[in-house]
């Protein structure tokens, strides 16, 4: 049975301009293209079949942009590793995808259409998997003049990778209950041209407190000052923080515990006698920014 669009199936299809792939020139110009470049489906179920045209009214199409009629065949291909999108695996069996029809004669300037039908075997081990395949449309019987074009098809049995990542992010955000102290650190005697440990030299460090009943994982790093916000009077926004290190930079703090984070700097000599401002940014391990409000204001001494 083919699932209809009343089901909660999510489908995204990338449509671009015609991809023109001409063959070597001889007596006739031969070329085909497609507007169907990338289809992504999620929430598919085992033991079911899905027709993309029925789901969203999107058929697969191939246009003959040459000046001679051609026979075109559309095949389902298993991707090689370098063609794979992150978090997907190659489709185990190309027979899971059918093109109806899969062959046609297309006159010059004409367009042919096919239904794409995806059938998922009734196997519980497929739940939670994400698959990728290619559709390869190519001319038939044109010898050395032959040409072809590929389209990507991706689908998930259950939620897709992006949906799962968003759910993970939201879950992590809900469980966050922490603070970083101080909100502003003033480093008053940074020495240029050498490593400067703010904890050792000025007895200052950041302290991150986990106030929740679950472990908290954070990544801290120094980032340039956001120039949309004026720096405090007398300080210049820093636009390169490569010489600044937080130790540790990746934290996993147990419930109701405090983790100390030291600030280490290797101040470039060119900054001698200057005052610089930058930000300490906190992110989740997946990269979601949760805080960019903690400031560091550095006074660099003359040698």
**Fold exhibited by the domain 2-161:** Immunoglobulin-like (2.60.40)
| pLDDT digit string, tens, across residues 64-81 | 888 888 899 999 999 998
pLDDT in tens, 146-205: 577 888 888 888 876 776 566 566 555 556 788 899 999 999 999 999 899 999 999 999
Confidence at residue 96, expressed as pLDDT on a 0 to 100 scale: 95
Residues of the chain whose pLDDT is less than 70? 1-28, 141-146, 160, 163-175
- Hey, what long-range contacts does 158-163 have (CB within 8 A, 24 or more apart)? 158/42, 158/43, 158/44, 158/127, 158/128, 159/42, 159/43, 160/10, 160/40, 160/41, 160/42, 160/43, 160/130, 161/86, 161/87, 161/88, 161/130, 163/10, 163/42
- Is the pTM higher than 0.85? The answer reads no
CATH 2.60.40.10 region(s) of the chain? 2-161, 175-300
CATH fold of the domain at 175-300? Immunoglobulin-like (2.60.40)
């Amino acid at each position: 049975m083919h699932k209809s669009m009343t089901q909660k199936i999510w489908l995204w299809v990338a449509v671009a301009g015609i991809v023109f792939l001409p063959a070597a020139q001889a007596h006739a110009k031969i070329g085909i293209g497609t507007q169907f470049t990338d289809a992504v489906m999620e929430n598919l179920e085992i033991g079911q079949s899905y027709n993309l045209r029925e789901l969203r009214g999107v058929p697969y199409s191939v246009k003959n942009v040459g000046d001679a009629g051609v026979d075109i065949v559309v095949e389902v291909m298993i991707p090689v590793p370098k063609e794979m999108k992150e978090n997907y695996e190659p489709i185990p069996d190309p027979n899971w995808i059918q093109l109806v029809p899969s062959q046609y004669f297309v006159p010059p300037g004409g367009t042919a259409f096919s239904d794409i039908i995806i059938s998922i075997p009734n196997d519980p081990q497929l739940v939670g998997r994400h698959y990728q395949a290619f559709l390869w449309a190519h001319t038939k019987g044109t010898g050395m003049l032959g040409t072809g074009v590929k389209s990507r098809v991706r689908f998930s049995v259950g939620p897709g990778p992006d949906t799962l990542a968003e759910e993970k992010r939201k879950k992590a955000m809900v469980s966050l209950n922490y603070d970083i102290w101080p909100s502003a650190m003033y480093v008053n005697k940074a020495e240029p041209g050498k490593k400067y440990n703010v904890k050792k030299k000025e007895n200052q460090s950041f302290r991150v407190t986990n106030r929740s009943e679950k472990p908290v994982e954070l990544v801290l790093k120094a980032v340039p000052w956001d120039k949309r916000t004026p720096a405090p009077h007398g300080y210049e926004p820093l636009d390169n923080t490569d010489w600044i290190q937080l130790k540790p930079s990746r934290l996993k703090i147990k419930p109701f515990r405090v983790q100390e984070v030291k600030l280490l700097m290797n101040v470039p000599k060119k900054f001698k006698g200057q005052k610089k401002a930058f930000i300490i940014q906190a992110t989740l391990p997946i990269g979601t920014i949760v805080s960019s409000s903690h400031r560091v204001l550095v006074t660099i001494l003359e040698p």
